[in-house]
């Protein structure tokens, strides 16, 4: 497994998230890879991670889920991959003490490239489905907790995430009712629903 830090569109490195690239062994018969290995993963992230739950979603092209995060006492970290299709996956730094506070990174995760994105606590997460359908699986550290759950608008002007909408072939972005009503980044800052 290889792991690398990602940079923002302006070249700034975000400390925390890592792009995980498993080693894939294949031939004309097919392929094999370890989608997760405790020892290799903990070495890559530099800490002992204990996952609490596995999640699995299926979406059609244009579905955008996010930007979601959970505050204390039950923040969540996620290891995300697309086992079917392709998504554009995003992490936004919500740690007020971070030099990259309010910055984002994004990368394509797909059935083809088999990449994964590690998103530690302190970040909001979202993804846009690029393929006709996509199945997204992620391991989570920390249980889902409705009272800790928060969201930020996917198209917030301050964050200015460059979602690859050109890949939707004319289809519109599709949101859940909850995500469509998510507050702006500035509103979240004013309520203090962020990380230290």
Q: Choose among 65, 83, 88: nearest CA to 134.
A: 83
Q: Cα separation of 142 and 52, whole Å?
A: 6
Q: Cα separation of 13 and 24, whole Å?
A: 27
Catalytic residue among 68, 69, 115, 125: 68
Q: Choose among 8, 5, 1, 69: nearest CA to 35.
A: 1
Quick check: is 68 catalytic?
A: yes
Q: Cα separation of 102 and 104, whole Å?
A: 7
Q: Cα separation of 147 and 59, whole Å?
A: 25
CB 159 within 8 A of CB 90: no
Catalytic residue among 69, 115, 125, 138: 138
| Helix, coil or strand: residue 60 | strand
Q: Cα separation of 99 and 191, whole Å?
A: 21
Radius of gyration of the chain, Cα coordinates, nearest whole angstrom? 16
Task: Assign 3-state DSSP to the chain and report helix, strand, coil percentages, each to 5.
Answer: 10, 40, 45
Catalytic residues: 68, 138
């Amino acid at each position: 497994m290889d792991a690398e830090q990602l940079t923002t569109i302006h070249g700034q490195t975000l400390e925390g998230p890592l792009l995980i690239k498993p080693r894939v062994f294949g031939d004309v018969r097919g392929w094999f890879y370890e989608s997760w290995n405790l020892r290799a993963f903990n070495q890559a992230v530099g800490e002992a991670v204990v996952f609490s739950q596995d999640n699995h979603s299926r979406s059609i092209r244009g579905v955008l889920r996010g930007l979601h995060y959970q505050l204390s006492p039950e923040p969540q970290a996620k290891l995300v991959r697309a086992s079917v299709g392709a998504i554009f996956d995003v992490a936004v730094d919500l740690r007020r003490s971070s030099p990259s506070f309010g910055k984002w990174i994004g990368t394509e995760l797909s059935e083809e490239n088999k990449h994964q994105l590690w998103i530690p606590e302190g970040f909001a997460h979202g993804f846009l489905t690029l393929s006709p359908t996509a199945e997204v699986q992620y391991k989570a550290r920390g249980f889902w907790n409705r009272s800790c759950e928060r969201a930020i608008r996917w198209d917030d002007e301050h964050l200015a995430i460059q979602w690859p909408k050109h890949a939707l072939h004319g289809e519109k972005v599709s949101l859940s009712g909850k995500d469509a009503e998510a507050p702006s980044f500035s509103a979240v800052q004013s309520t203090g629903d962020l990380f230290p």
